[in-house]
Chain A
Amino acid sequence: MKLINRYVNEVGKHLPLIQGREDIEKELRSTLEDMLEERAQKAGRPADETMEIELLKAYGSPQKVAQTYNPHPYLVGPRVYPFFLMILKIVFFGIVIGLSVVTIIQLLSQLSTGVAFMSPDFMKTILQGAGKIISTGIAAFGYVVVAFVLIERLVPDLKFDFEEEKEWDPAALAKEPDANSVSRGELITEIVFTFVGLAILNFYQQILGMYFFSGEQSFFIPLFSDEFQKFIPWINLIFLAEIAVDIYLLRNAVWTTATRVAKIIIEGASLVLAVLIIRTPNILGVTAESLANSPFTPERAEQFFKIANVSFSITLIAVIITVSIELIKAVIGLVKSINSKQSK
């Protein structure tokens, strides 16, 4: 029986600890001893090691036998895999955004301490930032995998119902938005934000700036200089046009060729305006002179000035990129709608 015992032990090593290893081992041992006895009877002689060996050989390798007792031989099984992917996406998204923000802040503070834009030190920070994103991403991947391995192992036979499945209604497919429809939610959001922007720019510029208190005096430095004020009528025009088009779209929530073209014009004009603004020097009210009156020391003022400029440039570049994308989307939408109308 020695070999049988060793064999059973070997099988046991490959069995999950929690889910009945001892029980399986016991049953296996009992079965094998029965089988051995039978062999001995058939052979007409008492069981010996050779017989044991033959029996165990016929029974199969310990790993194979252990495997038959394992109903879910997966690291991350098919039941949890959809969740796994979903969580991975969320985690990665968060990491990329979070670390990017941190890196950008580092870059900005570097600039304020006199490091030149695109200098070796600057680039080093960028590369380090990218490196951090990658390494944190890999570590996070590992944590998520470990978590899901535990779930897979310790929650053996639960059924995971992906909630969406229950609520998914094929009728929703029948209502598939045709390419010409517009989301009312998006429209309303756009209208509200454009309104707010309009109001702030025209009536509440006081909040766009910085206040300082020094002793009993207070200073206010506006964000935008007088140069900028020249652009305001144009910006107003664009905002108003955008609001008008959006309100018109709200009525039917459907694009027409006219509205598509109007949108394209607005986006194009926004793009031009953004480019003009970024190319205008002295757009910001935060200048070296205006800061001279503030409690900042000249060096700090200088740094502040640089940070403000760079932040503003970055913001404008982001705006330009976004508007360009919207413009391209609008043009593509127009082309597609014209094509589909022609082919009808």
Chain B
Amino acid sequence: MTNTEPVENVVLELRRGVIVLAALSQLSVEQYGYSLLKKLSEQGLEVDQGTLYPLLRRLEAQGLLESVWKLEEARPRRYYVISAEGKKILPKLKKEWADIVSVMKKFLA
């Protein structure tokens, strides 16, 4: 239905801006891709797997996450956790987010 497409796209764009911060905030404890996906979903943020997994790799390439392969129950899993670099910038991102939220509150009041 072409009518709802623009809306869906805008919603996606909105969510996409938030995912990095959401992921970083949840990765102070190490998780593997699928567990993170579920955790975010349980708490109300639906993220497409096609978005999350490449994102985790990208964040690792940028140095914000660290990853390690662990073998559990005969299944290898790649665990991600926030890196030292990531821990440094997380407070800045949080502040940035708080600023944006307060500004948007004014716009949308």
Contacts and interface: CB of A to CB of B under 8 A. Distances in A.
Contact of B76 (A30, A35, A68): A30
A34 B34 contact: yes
Contacts of B57: 20, 24, 69
Contacts of A59: 49
A47 B34 CA distance: 18
Contacts of A121: none
A68 B33 contact: no
B54 interface: yes
A31 B58 CA distance: 18
Given A69-B57, A71-B58, A31 B76 contact: no
A26 B77 CA distance: 8
A11 to B, nearest CB: 11
Interface in B37-79: 49-51, 53-54, 57-58, 61, 69, 75-78
Interface in A57-100: 59-60, 64-65, 68-69, 71
A10 interface: no
Given A69-B57, A71-B58, A30 B75 contact: yes
A98 B91 CA distance: 61
B34 A68 contact: no
Given A60-B50, A65-B50, A30 B58 contact: no
A324 to B, nearest CB: 57
A17 B32 CA distance: 24
Best-surrounded residue of A27, A59, A65 (most CB of chain B within 10 A): A27
A28 B54 CA distance: 11
Interface in A1-60: 20, 23-24, 26-28, 30-31, 33-35, 59-60
B50 A68 contact: yes
B51 A26 contact: no
A34 B75 contact: yes
B52 to A, nearest CB: 10
Given A27-B33, A35-B34, A68 B51 contact: yes
Nearest to A59: B49
Nearest to B76: A30
A65 B48 CA distance: 11
B22 to A, nearest CB: 18
B77 to A, nearest CB: 5
A71 to B, nearest CB: 7
Contact of A31 (B34, B51, B54, B69): B34
Nearest to A35: B34
A31 B50 contact: no
Contacts of B76: 26, 30
Contacts of B78: 23, 26-27, 30
A60 B50 CA distance: 9
A27 B75 contact: no
A33 B76 CA distance: 10
A27 B75 CA distance: 10
Nearest to A58: B49
Nearest to B52: A68
A71 B54 CA distance: 9
A24 B57 CA distance: 9
Interface string B69-109: 10000011110000000000000000000000000000000
Interface of B: 32-34, 49-51, 53-54, 57-58, 61, 69, 75-78
CB-CB nearest 6 A-B residue pairs: A68-B50, A34-B34, A31-B34, A69-B54, A27-B78, A68-B54
Given A20-B57, A30-B32, A30-B34, 12 more contacts: A26-B76, A26-B78, A27-B53, A27-B78, A28-B53, A30-B78, A34-B75, A35-B34, A64-B50, A65-B50, A69-B53, A69-B54
10 contacts: A23-B78, A24-B57, A30-B32, A30-B76, A31-B33, A35-B34, A60-B50, A68-B50, A68-B53, A68-B54
